[in-house]
């Protein structure tokens, strides 16, 4: 019985698979029809670049003889970008507003805390940039970790995270 049915099942399964593949480009969960504000992509690109710069810093520090000039320039880049964070979060752009973002409503509920968290990254990246000039690997590594703590501290409180 099942044997005569099976080829048809295979064909329909293949068709369903094709349909699913075609529709996968459509937004998966968009509760609102409103267009996504451009600032969301802008801030995501900014954070992405901060992440890449930080990876480059850690990559250098894993080497026996890190390039401290590169670390200093990456730290300055992070510093410039960190200063933009505060202005990247206009009201109405949280994940609760239905956009594809990990920005929690806490950003707007505790604006002072958020501002302080962003400022922490500005301060720590500035410290890293100036320390890198001195070329002490242990000190630079320690400061890089401290700056990483600033990233993490903000993520823990203000970014939607699926860690559990």
* Nearest approach, Cβ of residue 116 and other proteins (Å): 19
CA distance 153 to 39: 23
Does position 28 interact with other proteins (CB under 8 A)? The reply is yes
- Short-list 102, 93, 106, 8, CA closest to 48: 102
| Coil vs helix vs strand at 159 | strand
Distance from chain centroid for Cα 120: 17
CA distance 62 to 54: 12
* Nearest approach, Cβ of residue 21 and other proteins (Å): 9
- The residue within the footprint of other proteins, chosen from 113, 115, 148, 157 (CB under 8 A), is 148
Does position 59 interact with other proteins (CB under 8 A)? The reply is yes
User: How many residues interact with other proteins (rule CB under 8 A)?
Assistant: 30
Closer of 55 and 112 to other proteins (Cβ): 55
Closer of 42 and 156 to other proteins (Cβ): 156
Closer of 52 and 111 to other proteins (Cβ): 52
| Coil vs helix vs strand at 103 | strand
Find the Cα–Cα–Cα–Cα dihedral 55, 74, 103, 42, rounded to 10°. -120
- The residue within the footprint of other proteins, chosen from 51, 90, 92, 135 (CB under 8 A), is 51
| Coil vs helix vs strand at 35 | coil
Closer of 110 and 159 to other proteins (Cβ): 159
> How many Cα neighbours within 13 Å face the side chain of 69?
0
Q: Which residues would be at the binding site for other proteins (CB under 8 A)?
A: 2-4, 6-7, 9-11, 13-14, 17, 24, 28-29, 51, 54-56, 58-59, 62, 102, 148, 151-152, 155, 161-164
């Amino acid at each position: 019985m099942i044997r005569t049915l099976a080829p048809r099942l295979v064909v329909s399964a293949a068709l369903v698979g094709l349909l699913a593949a075609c529709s996968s480009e459509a937004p998966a969960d968009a509760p609102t029809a409103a267009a996504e504000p451009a600032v969301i992509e802008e801030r995501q690109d900014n954070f992405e670049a901060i992440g890449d710069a930080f990876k480059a810093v850690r990559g250098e520090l894993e080497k026996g003889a890190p390039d401290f000039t590169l670390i200093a320039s990456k730290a300055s880049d992070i510093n410039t970008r960190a200063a933009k964070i505060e202005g990247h979060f206009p009201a109405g752009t949280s994940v609760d507003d239905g956009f594809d973002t990990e920005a929690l409503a806490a950003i707007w509920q505790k604006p002072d805390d958020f501002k302080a968290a962003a400022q922490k990254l500005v301060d720590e990246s500035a410290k890293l940039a100036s320390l890198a000039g001195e070329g002490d690997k242990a000190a630079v590594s320690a400061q890089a970790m401290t700056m990483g703590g600033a990233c993490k501290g903000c993520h823990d409180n203000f970014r939607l995270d699926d860690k559990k």
